[in-house]
């Protein structure tokens, strides 16, 4: 591999995430629009359909976008032994920029095959060209012109956050090279985590979307963390409560927060839903699960306190055999079933929210009707709510059951004065009680 005149290289985004074994192909997206936030563009979808990652594997291309184009050819695409690189154009890419990419591949990789695909996916093979560059057969003036236009990579000291194992911790570490070239001791930041992008709710509030595996139960979590608390004590307490391990050292937390926010700007854009139901063509369940025809970047900000009850058990056939067939001929049970089925349709049909109050003596099917309705959604014992809860708490659950079914049992346990206000609030559209959630949260905190 040739040694460049300027050995200070800029790491192209995702270059460190590539597999380093020789048979593995590196896929590069290059051009003025080669940015992570353009993943939903027509060009990106076209490239993805052409590549067709095996078994639905996650597609992690190297990005040579606006930033990297300024520093070409002094850009590192991979530090592995990969022998094949495919470059797909997104946006504008000039001839001299293509030449600069060829120089970067020739000088700073071991690739033997280099293929370029223009916006129409027409293939052009540059393998012989990079070979000639390595052998010194190309016109020196052309190569000098390419290098003279490159923005110099200045390094007063280099910081990089990447995955590492120091014998004790495995996760994200701060790797630092001092101005004199000495490497500092790797600083453990946190367990493995991924920044997925920036989220915005209907009010314009911003969130940083994180993905990690909880320590206690190995559950993979994707959570929107409000930028209002991101990086401060309240935000760290929330992450700790959710099973995320990190270094409590002040500098480590500062470096991690800055790294996450930088990564978020390069990631996807997410719609943060403050209530369940329909959002951008997707349906959000009270447990945060998103039902959609394809991957949709929608996240629920606050899940129902009964979220663990929204599970699947059995089959639709067994449900029909063991539950549905006993409903026939019983008006109370049919009513409950109808309410459970129609709730997701109200928004689509521009219908209003409504409440059904079943009154009767004991053992006349009131609770059974609610259970049958809830069986459509999950475990009825775990999703049933009680009137004995606080007005604030039930109001919060209203937002967590928008376009959904909220069943309340045991009205005799409620404060009679509170029942009227709760019923009025819930039946007057969940969207109108949003401010109540803020009040409820404050009241809950004050009562802790």
**CB-based contact 280:290 (threshold 8 Å):** no
pTM over 0.75: no
On the question of a cis peptide bond just before residue 422, with omega within 30 degrees of 0, the verdict is no
Tens-digit pLDDT profile for residues 338-358: 999 998 998 889 888 888 888
How big is the CA angle at 131 (ends 31 and 69), to the nearest 5 degrees?
A: 20
Tens-digit pLDDT profile for residues 49-105: 887 765 445 668 899 998 899 889 989 998 777 789 999 999 999 998 999 999 999
d(CA 293, CA 281): 9
37 phi, psi to nearest 5 deg? -75, -5
pLDDT at 100: 92
Residue 290, pLDDT above cutoff 60: yes
Q: In 3D, which of 309, 426, 446 has the Cα closest to residue 357?
A: 426
d(CA 429, CA 439): 17
């Amino acid at each position: 591999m040739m040694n460049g005149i300027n050995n200070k290289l800029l790491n192209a985004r995702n270059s460190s995430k590539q597999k380093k074994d020789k048979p593995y192909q590196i896929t590069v997206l290059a051009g003025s629009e080669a940015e992570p936030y353009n993943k939903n563009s027509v060009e990106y979808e076209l490239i993805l359909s052409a590549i067709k990652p095996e078994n639905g594997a996650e597609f992690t291309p190297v990005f040579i976008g606006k930033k990297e184009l300024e520093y070409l050819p002094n850009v590192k695409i991979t530090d592995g032994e990969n022998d094949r690189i495919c470059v797909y154009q997104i946006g504008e890419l000039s001839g001299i920029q293509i030449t600069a990419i060829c120089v970067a591949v020739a000088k700073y990789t071991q690739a033997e095959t280099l293929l370029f695909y223009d916006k129409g996916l027409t293939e052009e093979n540059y393998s012989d060209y990079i070979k000639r560059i390595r052998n010194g057969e190309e016109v020196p003036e052309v190569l000098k012109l390419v290098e003279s236009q490159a923005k110099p990579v200045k390094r007063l000291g280099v910081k990089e956050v990447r995955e590492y194992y120091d014998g004790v911790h495995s996760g994200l570490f701060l790797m630092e090279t001092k101005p004199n070239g000495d490497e500092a001791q790797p600083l453990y930041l946190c367990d493995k985590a991924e920044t997925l992008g920036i989220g915005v709710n209907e009010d314009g509030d911003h969130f940083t979307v994180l993905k990690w595996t909880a320590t206690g139960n190995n559950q993979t979590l994707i959570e929107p963390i409000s930028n209002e608390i991101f990086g401060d004590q309240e935000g760290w307490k929330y992450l700790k409560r959710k099973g995320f391990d990190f270094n409590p050292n002040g500098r480590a937390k500062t470096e991690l927060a800055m790294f996450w926010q930088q990564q978020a700007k390069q990631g996807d854009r997410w719609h943060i839903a403050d209530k369940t139901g329909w959002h951008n063509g997707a349906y959000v369940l009270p447990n945060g699960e998103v039902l959609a025809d394809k991957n949709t970047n929608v996240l629920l900000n606050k899940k129902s306190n009964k979220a663990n009850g929204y599970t699947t058990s059995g089959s639709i056939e067994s449900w029909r055999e063991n539950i549905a067939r006993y409903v026939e001929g019983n008006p109370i049970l049919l009513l409950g079933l109808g309410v459970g089925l129609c709730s997701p349709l109200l928004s689509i049909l521009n219908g209003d929210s409504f409440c059904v109050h079943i009154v009767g003596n004991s053992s006349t099917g009131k609770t059974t009707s609610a259970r049958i309705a809830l069986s459509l959604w999950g475990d009825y014992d775990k999703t049933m709510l009680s009137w004995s809860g606080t007005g604030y708490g039930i109001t919060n659950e209203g937002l967590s059951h928008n376009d959904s079914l909220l069943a309340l049992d045991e009205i005799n346990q409620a404060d009679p004065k509170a029942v009227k206000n709760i019923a009025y609030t819930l039946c007057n559209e969940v969207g109108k009680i949003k401010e109540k959630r803020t009040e409820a949260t404050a009241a809950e905190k004050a009562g802790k």
